[in-house]
Structure 1
Amino acid sequence: MAHDRDDPDNRDGHGSRDDGDGRDDRDDGGTQDDGRDDGRGSAQDGREAQGDGEHALGRRERDILALERRGFSGPGAKERAIREELGLSPVRYYQLLNALLDDTRALAHDPVTVNRLRRIREARRAER
């Protein structure tokens, strides 16, 4: 079924362009098709499928943390991955990431990455 995902007119394999992950295919700052954007994903982005209810991170949030765990070589590689894999502008990505660092659900999901990024953020704030 991997070929269905590559078809731009059949993103979820059921004829819908919305793949249910809360991300809009357009680079419009991350708003969803219905105009909602709480900055943390939505219940439609995978929480129900995970079975953890309200206390779990959404798919977009998990994808952001996964991207932060990766290493990137060369200038622009991370920004390119942000656009291609998450469908977000780098500015919107970093806004969402910054909010995630203060989210206890993110800390519970990936404490190593969240604590590392918090230390980096605090060091940069201290430099100012």
Structure 2
Amino acid sequence: MTDASDPRPGEDGLGERERAVLALERRSWPGPGAKERAVRERLGLSPTRYYQLLNALLDDPRALAHDPVTVNRLRRVRAEKEQRR
């Protein structure tokens, strides 16, 4: 198993960290704080940095190719939030 901070790209061109971010987004979380705790423990990132990386991934065609269901769902959520502003 590779470390989530491993910058080497996989076959899809995404690094291990990017794939780990998408994997965390595929999961459902039991309550408040559980996801943020997992982000800190598994990825060693602050929640702020995690969401910065996630937003960049949503615009990355490699992420869309890797996990189209998750990326498209998150793009819809982001668009809905932007419309409410």
TM-score, normalised to structure 2, is 0.91
Unaligned regions of 5+ residues in structure 1, if any? Answer: 1-11, 13-18, 24-43
**What are the Cα deviations for residues 95-118 of structure 1, in whole angstroms up to 9, with x where unaligned?**
000000000000000000000000
Could you tell me the percent identity over the aligned residues?
A: 67
How many angstroms apart in 1 are the aligned matches of 2:77 and 2:13?
A: 25
Structure whose CA Rg is larger: 1
- In structure 2, what is the equivalent of residue 91 of structure 1? 48
Cα RMSD over matched residues?
1.9
Q: Does 1:68 align with 2:25?
A: yes
Please state if 1:102 is matched with 2:64. Answer: no
Matches within 5 A, 1:1-128: 19=3, 21=4, 23=5, 45-47=7-9, 50=10, 52=11, 56-128=13-85
Matching residue's letter, 1:45: P
Matched length: 85
Q: Aligned AA for 2:69? A: V
Shift of 1:46: 3.2
Alpha-carbon distance between aligned partners in 2 of 1:81 and 1:90, rounded to the nearest angstrom: 10
Q: Distance in 2 between matches of 1:85 and 1:72?
A: 15
Q: Secondary structure at the match of 2:24?
A: helix
Unaligned runs of 5+ in 2: none
Consecutive aligned runs of 4 or more in structure 1 exceeding 4 Å deviation = none
Could you tell me which amino acid in structure 2 is paired with residue 120 of structure 1? Answer: V
Higher helix share: 2
